[in-house]
Amino acid sequence: MTTQNLALFDLDNTLLAGDSDYNWSLFLISEGLLDAKTHHDRNEQFYADYKAGQLNIVEFLKFQLKPLSEHPKVFLDELHLKYMQKVIRPMMTVKAQNLVDKHKAAGDLCVVITATNSFVTKPIATAYGVEHLIGSDPEMLNGEYTGGVTGVPTYKEGKVTRIKQWLAERGQKLSDFETSYFYSDSHNDLALMQLVTRPVAVDADEILTAYAIEHVWPQISLR
């Protein structure tokens, strides 16, 4: 048993007061890089499916990663800087930063674990001061994005698979930590929330709120 605790954070609508995936598509439309008519409706439908717990993650990632394959990485990285300033920074709350800082100050192993692809989310985790990110990983070939995905998408049970893989690579397992926290807003994360010792519902959706009340889980707001 390690003396260090583990703190896992969902990103969208948990640490962020909004959804980085959904807003990335809107940002690309606003930048004239995606056709508004064809893209907007599909983006809305995928978001509704996610909230209902019915998202086809493979189809969604195909949709979400395709634009990455249409531009050089150097251009995308520049674009992401603009996205951070214009869209993401206003979604980063003081309460969320304070929570992360509290866990870091305690010496906890902090990890952002999100279904959103790691191109979009890695700079956001870094901005919060979290070194470790586990996200759905876009496939790369010769330094450029292919539009495909590599490995297991970090969605629902996929989050359990990926955190176990990640810890195993470090020579660790979940049970090594006396206390393991997972902060999330979404019922899609119940599989992983049920595995940690301290699940915390954050500005939770209706299904997760009901589950948290039934199982006497702490509920907080980072807004």
Of residues 41 and 216, the one with the higher pLDDT is: 216
pLDDT of residue 43: 86
pLDDT of residue 40: 84
Residues catalogued as catalytic? 10, 12
Residue 1 lies in a domain: no
Residue 216 lies in a domain: yes
The 3-class secondary structure across the chain, one letter per residue, is: CECCCEEEECHHHHHECCCHHHHHHHHHHHCCCCCHHHHHHHHHHHHHHHHCCCCCHHHHHHHHHHHHHHCCHHHHHHHHHHHHHHHHHHHECHHHHHHHHHHHHCCCEEEEEEEEEHHHHHHHHHHCCCCEEEEEEEEEECCEEEEEEECCCCCCHHHHHHHHHHHHHCCCCHHHECCEEEEECCHHHHHHHCCCCEEEEECCCHHHHHHHHHCCCCEECCC
Q: What is the pLDDT of residues 183-214, one digit of tens each?
A: 999 999 999 999 999 999 999 999 999 999 99
pLDDT of residue 53: 87
CATH of the domain at 25: 3.40.50.1000
Domain count of the chain? 1
pTM of the model: 0.95
Q: What is the pLDDT of residues 158-172, one digit of tens each?
A: 999 999 999 999 999
CB within 8 Å of 166: residues ≥ 6 apart: 111, 132, 134
Structural domain containing residue 127: 6-220
For the chain, the average pLDDT equals: 95
